[in-house]
Amino acid sequence: MYKLSNLAAKDFEGIFEYTEIAVGVRRHNHSKHAIFYRYRTDDIFVIRILHQQMEPLKHFYFDEIDL
């Protein structure tokens, strides 16, 4: 069981997992942009930074995801 502070809960709402792109890909919204990334062993790999009006699936190339 876990309990989140109100601020942590709000932060958590801004993170989405995008398994339709690839397993482990996550999205974080910042201002008018979406940052797509995945956790790796020693770092965080940023895959794409897209404007909120761009359709993510149209702008992903699977060789960029570093599977």
Q: pLDDT value at position 67?
A: 46
Arithmetic mean of pLDDT, 14-37: 77
Q: CA–CA separation, 44 vs 42, rounded Å?
A: 7
Mean per-residue pLDDT of the chain: 75
User: Residues 4-41, buried b or exposed e (16+ Cβ, 10 A)?
Assistant: eeeeeeeeeeeeeebeebbeebbbeeeeeebbbbbeee
21 pLDDT band, cuts 50/70/90, is low
Is the Cα torsion angle 62, 63, 65, 67 positive or negative in sign?
A: positive
Give the predicted TM-score (pTM) of the model. Answer: 0.62
Structural domain boundaries in the chain: 12-64
